[in-house]
């Protein structure tokens, strides 16, 4: 029974896009590893950008800095 956890930032991802991700991951596991779709579990966790960080700052702050530099 495959279990796949996908973490993304919560910022405008639609229900349709998440459904497509679930479908395509399931199809990949079936095609590549011969895993049964009815036994495949996909979980998408959305994380607020204030709770996701790298390079010592939150994603919210990183994006703010990019916008200030005109690189968004």
For residues 59 and 49, give the distance between their C-alpha atoms in angstroms, rounded to a whole number.
5
| Cα(40)–Cα(58) distance, integer angstroms | 33
- For the record, the structure tokens of 24 come out as 């395509």
pLDDT tens digits, one per residue of 10-23: 998 999 999 999 99
- Compute the CA torsion angle 7, 11, 15, 16 (nearest 10 deg): -100
Nearest to 1 by CA among 30, 36, 31, 33: 36
Instruction: List pLDDT tens digits, range 29-65.
Output: 999 999 999 999 999 999 999 999 999 999 999 999 9
Active-site residues: which are they?
A: 2
Q: Model-level pTM?
A: 0.83
């Amino acid at each position: 029974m495959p279990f796949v956890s996908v973490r993304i930032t919560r910022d405008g991802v639609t229900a349709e896009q998440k459904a497509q991700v679930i479908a395509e991951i399931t199809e990949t596991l079936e095609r590549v590893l011969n895993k049964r779709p009815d036994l495949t579990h996909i979980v998408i966790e959305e994380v607020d950008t204030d709770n996701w960080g790298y390079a010592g700052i939150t994603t919210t702050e990183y994006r703010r800095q990019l916008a200030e530099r005109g690189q968004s």
